[in-house]
Amino acid sequence: MKRSFFWLFACILFVSALAVAADRSPTADSMPLARLIPRGAIAYVQARDFAGLFGKWKASPAHDRYYASDNFRAFGQSRLYAKLSERLKEFETGAGIEMTEDRVAEMAGGATAVAMYDMGKLEIVYVTELPAAKASLTELFKQSSKFETRKRGNAQYSVLELATDGGRMRQGLCFSATDGKFVITTTESLMQRTLDNFAAESTDRLSDSIAPTLAAAENFAAHDATLWTDIPRLKAQRFFKLYWVQGKAATALDGVSATLADLEIAGDGIHERRWSLYDDTARKAVKAEPRNPIDFLKLASGAQFLEAEALDAATDDAKAASAVMKTLFPAVRPTQPPSDPPSMATSGGSSSGENGQRYQDLDERFDRDIDDPSLAVGDSRDKKTNQAPVADPLETELAAVLKASGPTMVARLGSAKTDAATKYVSFDRAVIFEFRNGFDAKKYEAVISELIFRRYLIAGTLKGIEWRTNESGITSPNIGGISEQGGAYFVDGKRVVIANSVAFAASLKTALIAAAPLPSPGDLKKVTRLANFRLRGSAASYSRLMIMIDFNADNSLEGMGEEGSTENEYVSFFGGNIASLLKVADGFDHITLEAANGDKVLTEAVTYRFATSPAPGPVKMPRPGE
């Protein structure tokens, strides 16, 4: 399996998911190479110093860990890899070169840009600052005798016409060394349009398409790598429609016209800023009052996951009640029986079926669908479960209690832990509210008591549930053998913390008092959402739990996730594929995100913070019965 191909595809994914002195527009200042790229790109990615970045990647421990991971091995077995690898092979065979990492390194210059126009056809433009003398030393230039030399204006380029897509399509692999730039395209028309942009009078510049996004992106500055994406064009791509596996989460892109992301590699980690520009039909007035959730980051020291968001007290009462219910009385979601026949895929990677999901796993149906032109790619709704669920009267009553307190922010927290003696993985959960008004504890206790009666007790077992407050100020229901049911809570000023256990509530209270908050990832002024996820702290429990859940009696666990396993071996999705990414990202301790939702732009600041302590020992892969 060639690493060189994955490097190219990773670049494409980053592109699809990451020059005139008189022009002083933001694009000209921060994205000069975008002036050379033709219009109509799905996305554009630039690197301030591509040669330097590529060298750092090759030298990093994550480089070798990734190519040895289950994630890379699973990708190498996919139909998507096979199709794009075949397309790349056609270019390699025609040009007489192999795109190894060494070939990539010799073609990597300083400031570099890549634009993607069609995923399936692999239509790209690559421009890098590389003097003609260095460009002439590349392996591609050495194969010039196979190419035909042509001119476009004052520039000269080389083109090799190739039969691609198994002979069903003709494409022209082109390269040119012009004005200190080395240009490579996979179609001749893109080369001609790019060379036309070296002329000052050209109007076919991608920079003009990017300019509205830059104008709306407050405090934008280009750093090590920058990605711009045209969302409508991206969503129209068939490969994106069938390989976007986030299901309903894909609706987050609805109404977004473009996104911009910028990465900066710093001493403490990687800092990312994102801007999502809403289109004219989706301008969003922020109903929730922006709050400063920085104090919630104190609680991140007591949990592996934290997510906080501002609430609109007038409309989000149901959301507040749902957060409490999921914390204290989590429901088990039913899954589609294996015997149910698959149905048509949707643009979100899901479809109609008993539970409305087609791709619960990236199995052979997923790979087959990408090659089936008769498969309708559109919206589909579950005909059996299209009815709105009936609201629980007690949940409605709980919503009313919380609404009366005027919630302005809610935070959800969670941790997974493995018991050293039993090897069981258990979960801590909590929800935290910041209220505008006082919290009516008695009404809250009454509703939770009734929920406990209905779910866990036989009528007449208890005449009533007594709530007790311990010496630490933690209040919980006294119900004997099921004491953990109903959770616990404590009040801290206008903040109320509700946890699924007394122990977890106590640890959060300690963190709230004693812990220092994590550094804020950005300087956003109107934060409406915050999240923190501790990668290293959750890796061991996640790996153990997911490997056992993913275990399939028809597939041996021998070699799963371990070095030396064969490429064609079965790779479980959560326990192997995703779990291996935690090993690759072992150099990061945690990820922190802040978001500010305005009426025109969603702005996000993310920090991937480097670990300061040595990596823990390898996670032992459990076997059934362990």
CB atoms within 10 A of CB 265: 14
461 or 310, greater pLDDT: 310
**CA–CA gap between residue 133 and residue 128 (Å, rounded):** 14
User: Among 85-89, 272-276, 362-366, which range has the highest average pLDDT?
Assistant: 272-276
Longest dimension (CA), the chain: 93
CA-based nearest residue to 8, from 130, 104, 110, 86: 104
Residue 502 has pLDDT above 60, yes or no: yes
Residue 338 has pLDDT above 50, yes or no: no
The average confidence (pLDDT) of the chain is 76
**CA–CA gap between residue 176 and residue 68 (Å, rounded):** 36
3-state SS string for 130-151: CCHHHHCCCHHHHCHHHCEEEE
Return the percentage of the chain with pLDDT > 70, whole number.
70
Of 61-75, 145-159, 207-221, where does mean pLDDT reach its minimum? Answer: 61-75
Q: What is the phi/psi pair of residue 372, to 5°? A: -105, 100
Domain boundaries defined on the chain: 3-265
Residue 10 has pLDDT above 50, yes or no: no
pLDDT value for 514: 73
**CA–CA gap between residue 418 and residue 414 (Å, rounded):** 14
Q: Please give the average per-residue pLDDT across 25-46, as a whole number.
A: 84
pLDDT value for 275: 95
Residue 480 DSSP label: G
pLDDT value for 588: 87
CA-based nearest residue to 511, from 296, 291, 323, 306: 296
pLDDT value for 556: 43
pLDDT value for 343: 41
Instruction: Spell 395-412 as b/e; 16+ CB within 10 A means b.
Output: bebbbebbbbbbbbbbbb
Residue 193 has pLDDT above 90, yes or no: yes
User: Among 123-127, 245-249, 278-282, 389-393, which range has the highest average pLDDT?
Assistant: 123-127
Residue 324 has pLDDT above 50, yes or no: yes
pLDDT tens figures, 103-142: 888 889 999 999 999 887 889 999 999 999 998 898 888 8
55 or 332, greater pLDDT: 55
pLDDT value for 33: 94
**CA–CA gap between residue 281 and residue 256 (Å, rounded):** 9
Q: Strand, helix or coil at 470? A: coil
Residue 531 has pLDDT above 80, yes or no: yes
Of 239-243, 285-289, 442-446, where does mean pLDDT reach its minimum? Answer: 285-289
Residue 178 has pLDDT above 50, yes or no: yes
pLDDT value for 613: 67
Residue 359 has pLDDT above 70, yes or no: no
pLDDT value for 345: 39
Give the pTM.
0.77
Return the percentage of the chain with pLDDT > 90, whole number.
24
pLDDT value for 185: 94
The answer to whether residues 436 and 402 touch, using CB atoms and an 8 Å cutoff, is no
53 or 523, greater pLDDT: 53
pLDDT value for 480: 63
pLDDT value for 339: 44
37 or 327, greater pLDDT: 37
Q: Please give the average per-residue pLDDT across 361-371, as a whole number.
A: 52
Structure confidence at residue 365 as a pLDDT band (50, 70, 90): low
Of 116-130, 335-349, 458-472, 505-519, where does mean pLDDT reach its minimum? Answer: 335-349
Q: Please give the average per-residue pLDDT across 357-370, as a whole number.
A: 50
**CA–CA gap between residue 44 and residue 592 (Å, rounded):** 26
Q: Please give the average per-residue pLDDT across 192-209, as a whole number.
A: 92
CA angle 274, 204, 17 (to 5 degrees): 30
pLDDT tens figures, 381-422: 444 444 555 566 778 888 888 888 888 888 898 888 877 777
| Number of alpha helices (DSSP H) and beta strands (DSSP E) in the chain | 20, 20
Structure confidence at residue 12 as a pLDDT band (50, 70, 90): very low
pLDDT value for 125: 96
Structure confidence at residue 527 as a pLDDT band (50, 70, 90): confident
Q: Please give the average per-residue pLDDT across 362-375, as a whole number.
A: 54
pLDDT value for 190: 96
**CA–CA gap between residue 185 and residue 180 (Å, rounded):** 16
Structure confidence at residue 441 as a pLDDT band (50, 70, 90): very high
Tokens at residue 187, please? 């179609």
Residue 357 has pLDDT above 60, yes or no: no
